[in-house]
């Protein structure tokens, strides 16, 4: 079912579809175009964060499965069946793949909702359109890649050509299961690499289905394989593998650092990292009323959307002294009710549970720690009770009176928690914003262009929004500085990062 039809389904429709989808979904490893059990027969329980019930049991890949998949990927790469396919033929497969994803958009959306408890409405309105657009963008890019002829003496021809790298392993997180996976596998495949995806263990269903659709679209089975497994087993085996040429990772900074280590201890494979964040969202004191109101509404979405499980969330609200109290009053007035907790299959719900009860306990513990450090809980701060008590829910929370060096201002919460910091002027706002190990995404609201320009120049963030937040399209590079990582996703340049630049020097005389 396509997105426009899916948008009309009711809660009852989604409940009945969820049962069918869950029962039909593949949870075995997708190796060489076949679904197979893990070599050692291992599996783990996939538990619903909505009610703690078992969703399904997933095959747990280990080193032996990884070895097998890497050998198939290498053979496919060397055969040239995908890596040397004429660009227009590769494009046809990718476009057909995008069509199939579009035809199965409701099913794929539902898989992520079941796995992680993300509201179905967000899947339909936000994730799936971006998934489809991403595959099309990289399909369109395939024959736009250019090499070059460099400036040399006349008796020499010096060229640079771009080639696929080889076997690329993509390791993805659970917070946007299919979208984060597609941001990696689409450019990797478009570049001609044999690609292995290890999805987050909590959210494998959509990855398996999308790989199956790739083969249905005409992609060679060795070009895209999906192996779920625990991070320390399957992820580590990929990270240390001597025949994996590149790791493309999205996830925590902690695991990103481990992957750099594995590469150093194995074959120096390339490691591109998209990791955590603690986004500064700055509000200046010159906002006219209409911009002020838009700023508050955007700040609420910037920190509570996707239950705050967003690497690029604007989780530090840095507010100029003159508007601080008015801003927080309005934020509290709108923010208390903007997000409704409930069953993620209900199209009117926009706040599901966190990924699991461990995350719930961690986030509630961080709120408690902020409170004991002197922050005031303006609203939220606990888990909803009653019908939702079995789920890993946390209420949207606003903390005021946070100091820039407090634990809550420095650690990524990955939950619906905003930390408000009061600042005197632009100098202090910039100092506070840059006082972070992270540097992913930030935003500034001001009616003064020169002021905005100064923030853009001085903030250490990969992406900055002026009078907006979390917007963008496929042309915009997504990725951070410092411990947020070293790579860019989405844009045309990200395709080039899945290719080697090879120089050739032809002596002509
Ligand atoms: P995570 O780091 O725990 O897991 C991410 C992936 O790494 C999973 O597939 C996991 O199985 C795997 N993994 C875990 N241990 C591993 C190991 N030792 N070796 C190899 N792989 C291993 O992260 P998560 O909890 O799934 O996701 C949340 C994190 O992801 C947050 O920190 C968030 O900021 C970050 N994130 C970043 C971006 C971005 O683009 N910068 C986007 C989304 C999420």
Pocket mutation for ligand 1, best pick of 233, 241, 255, 442 (most atoms within 8 Å of C-beta):
255
**What's the predicted TM-score (pTM) here?**
0.97
Contacts of 56 (CB under 8 A, 6+ apart): 22, 25, 27, 46
The pLDDT value given to residue 405 = 97
**Packing angle of the helix pair 105-116, 11-24 (nearest 10 deg):** 90
CA of 252 to the centre of ligand 1 (A): 4
* Longest CA pairwise span in the chain (Å): 84
Residue 237 confidence (pLDDT): 98
Contacts of 426 (CB under 8 A, 6+ apart): 284, 451, 454, 455
Q: What is the pLDDT along the chain (509 residues), one digit of tens a residue?
A: 999 999 999 999 999 999 999 999 999 999 999 999 999 999 999 999 999 999 999 999 999 999 999 999 999 999 999 999 999 999 999 999 999 999 999 999 999 999 999 999 999 999 999 999 999 999 999 999 999 999 999 999 999 999 999 999 999 999 999 999 999 999 999 999 999 999 999 999 999 999 999 999 999 999 999 999 999 999 999 999 999 999 999 999 999 999 999 999 999 999 999 999 999 999 999 999 999 999 999 999 999 999 999 999 999 999 999 999 999 999 999 999 999 999 999 999 999 999 999 999 999 999 999 999 999 999 999 999 999 999 999 999 999 999 999 999 999 999 999 999 999 999 999 999 999 999 999 999 999 999 999 999 999 999 999 999 999 999 999 999 999 999 999 999 999 999 999 999 999 99
Q: Whose CA is nearest to atom 26 of ligand 1?
A: 173
Give Cβ neighbours of residue 293 (< 8 Å, ≥ 6 apart). 330
What pLDDT score was predicted for residue 19?
95
Q: Go through the chain and tell me how many residues it has.
A: 509
Measured CA to CA, the distance from residue 237 to residue 504 in angstroms comes to: 34
CB neighbours of residue 369 within 10 Å:
14
* Inter-CA distances, 438 with 279, 311, 312, 462, 482, Å: 8, 10, 10, 10, 6
180 CA to middle of ligand 1, Å?
10
pLDDT score, position 480: 97
Looking only at the bridges linking them, the beta strands covering 246-250 and 167-171 are parallel
- Cβ(277) to ligand 1 under 6 A? yes
What pLDDT sits at residue 133? 98
- Look up 26 and say whether it is catalytic: no
Distant-in-sequence, close-in-space partners of 194: CB < 8 Å, separation ≥ 6: 73, 74, 76, 77, 82, 83, 166, 167, 168, 222, 223, 224
What does the H/E/C string look like for 180-216?
Answer: HHHHHHHHHHHCCCEEEEECCCCCCHHHHHHHHHHHH
pLDDT at 307: 98
Distance (Å) of CA 268 to CA 106, 234, 486: 40, 18, 16
State phi, psi for 443 to the nearest 5 degrees: -145, 150
What pLDDT was estimated at residue 156?
98
Residues in contact with 179: Cβ distance below 8 Å, sequence separation at least 6, in sequence order: 127, 130, 131, 134
Q: Is the CB of 66 inside a 6 Å radius of any atom of ligand 1?
A: no
- Number of Cβ within 10 Å of residue 1's Cβ equals 15
Q: Is 311 a catalytic residue?
A: yes
- SS3 assignment for 336-387: HHHCCECCCCCCCCCECCCCCHHHHHHHHHHHHHHHHCCCEEEECCCCCCHH
- At 16, which helix (H) or strand (E)? helix 11-24
DSSP, res 485: B
- Check residue 501 and give its pLDDT: 98
- Binding site membership of 248 for ligand 1 (Cβ less than 6 Å): no
């Amino acid at each position: 079912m396509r997105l426009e039809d899916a948008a009309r389904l009711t809660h009852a429709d989604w409940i009945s579809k969820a049962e069918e989808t869950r029962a039909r979904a593949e949870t075995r490893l997708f190796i060489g175009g076949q679904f197979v059990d893990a070599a050692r027969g291992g599996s783990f329980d996939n538990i619903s964060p909505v009610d703690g019930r078992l969703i399904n049991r997933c095959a747990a890949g280990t080193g032996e499965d990884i070895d097998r998949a890497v050998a198939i990927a290498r053979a496919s790469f060397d055969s040239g069946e995908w890596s040397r396919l004429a660009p227009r033929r590769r494009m046809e497969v990718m476009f057909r793949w995008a069509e199939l994803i579009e035809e199965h958009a409701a099913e794929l959306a539902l898989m992520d909702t079941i796995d992680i408890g993300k509201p179905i409405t967000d899947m339909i309105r936000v994730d799936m359109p971006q998934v489809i657009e991403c595959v099309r963008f990289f399909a369109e890019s395939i024959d736009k890649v250019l090499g070059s002829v460099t400036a040399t003496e006349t008796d020499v021809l010096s060229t640079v050509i771009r080639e696929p790298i080889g076997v690329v392993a993509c390791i993805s997180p659970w917070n946007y299961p299919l979208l984060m996976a597609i941001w990696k596998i689409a450019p990797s495949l478009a570049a001609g690499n044999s690609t292995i995806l290890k999805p987050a263990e909590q959210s494998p269903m959509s990855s398996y289905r999308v790989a199956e659709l790739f083969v249905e679209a005409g992609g060679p089975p060795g070009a895209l394989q999906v192996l779920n497994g625990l991070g320390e087993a399957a992820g580590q085996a990929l990270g240390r593998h001597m025949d994996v040429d590149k790791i493309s990772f999205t996830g925590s900074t902690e695991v990103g650092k481990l992957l750099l280590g594995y590469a150093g201890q194995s074959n120096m494979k390339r490691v591109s990292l998209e990791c955590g964040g603690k986004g500064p969202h700055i509000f200046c004191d010159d906002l006219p009323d209409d911009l002020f109101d838009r700023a508050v509404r955007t700040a609420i979405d910037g920190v509570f959307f996707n239950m705050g499980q967003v690497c690029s969330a604007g989780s530090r609200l840095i507010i100029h002294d003159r508007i601080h109290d008015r801003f927080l009053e309005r934020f509290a007035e709108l923010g208390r009710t903007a997000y409704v907790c409930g069953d993620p299959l209900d199209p009117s719900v926009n706040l599901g549970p966190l990924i699991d009860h461990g995350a719930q306990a961690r986030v509630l513990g961080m709120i408690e720690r902020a409170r004991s450090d002197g922050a005031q809980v303006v609203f939220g701060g606990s888990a909803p009770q009653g019908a939702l008590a079995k789920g890993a829910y946390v209420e949207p929370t606003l903390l005021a009176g946070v100091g820039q060096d407090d634990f809550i201002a420095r650690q990524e919460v990955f939950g619906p928690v905003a930390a408000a910091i009061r600042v005197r002027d632009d100098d202090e706002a910039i100092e506070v914003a840059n006082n972070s190990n992270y540097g992913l995404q930030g935003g500034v609201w001001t009616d003064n262009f020169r002021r905005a320009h100064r923030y853009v120049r001085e903030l250490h963030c990969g992406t900055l929004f002026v009078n907006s937040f979390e917007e963008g399209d496929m042309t915009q590079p997504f990725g951070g500085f410092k411990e947020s990582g070293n790579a860019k996703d989405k844009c045309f340049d990200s395709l080039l990062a899945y290719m080697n630049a090879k120089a050739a020097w032809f002596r002509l005389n």
